[in-house]
Amino acid sequence: MSVRMTSAGKYGWFSDRKGYRYVPQHPSGVAWPAIPESVLDLWRQVTGLDRQPDCCLVNFYPPGARMGMHQDKDEADFSFPVVSISLGDDGLFRIGNDSRGGKTESIWLGSGDVVVMGDAARLTYHGVDRIRPGTSTLLDAEGRLNLTLRVVD
């Protein structure tokens, strides 16, 4: 089972045979929907920034889905943090180092948890090893939703 993705904001995070990249439209040709005000409020609260994020990536992890260790490094300016909001079932988040390999730490993220990856942690390798189905009643279906907010330009 793999992670299902969609986006909101000026850009969406998209993958096809050419690889992953930010694109200004959904593949159907329509613009991505606006990032909800409540999500932008949370971004302002946790970052203290006036600059809004350009992309809200929406990841859905059905039972069995995982995300391999990676860096978020396709943005122009790494001085802006990445903010991630977890909703629904618990997910086992793993965080490592600035280069691949080495010691890692894992933490269960529950519904409502917010992670800010900024400053020295902005380019840290991270991933999600697994989710724990049935640990939240927030969503109708089993699974975990993660919203990842990023300044792209």
Ligand X SMILES: O=C(O)CCC(=O)C(=O)O
**Which among ligand X, Mn ion, none contacts residue 54 (Cβ within 5 to 8 A by kind)?**
none
Least distance (Å) between residue 46 CB and ligand X: 15
Residues 26-45 that bind Mn ion (CB under 5 A): none
- What one-character-per-residue DSSP string does 17-84 give? TTEEEEESB-TTSPBPPPPPHHHHHHHHHHH--SSPPSEEEEEEE-TT--EEEE----SS-TTS-EEE
Least distance (Å) between residue 52 CB and ligand X: 18
Nearer to ligand X, 36 or 108 (CB): 108
**Which among ligand X, Mn ion, none contacts residue 111 (Cβ within 5 to 8 A by kind)?**
none
Nearer to Mn ion, 72 or 75 (CB): 72
Kindly give, in sequence order, each residue whose CB lies less than 8 Å from that of residue 91, ignoring residues fewer than 6 positions away: 61, 108, 109, 128, 130, 131, 132, 144, 146
String marking each residue 70-99 x if it binds Mn ion according to CB under 5 A: --x---------------------------
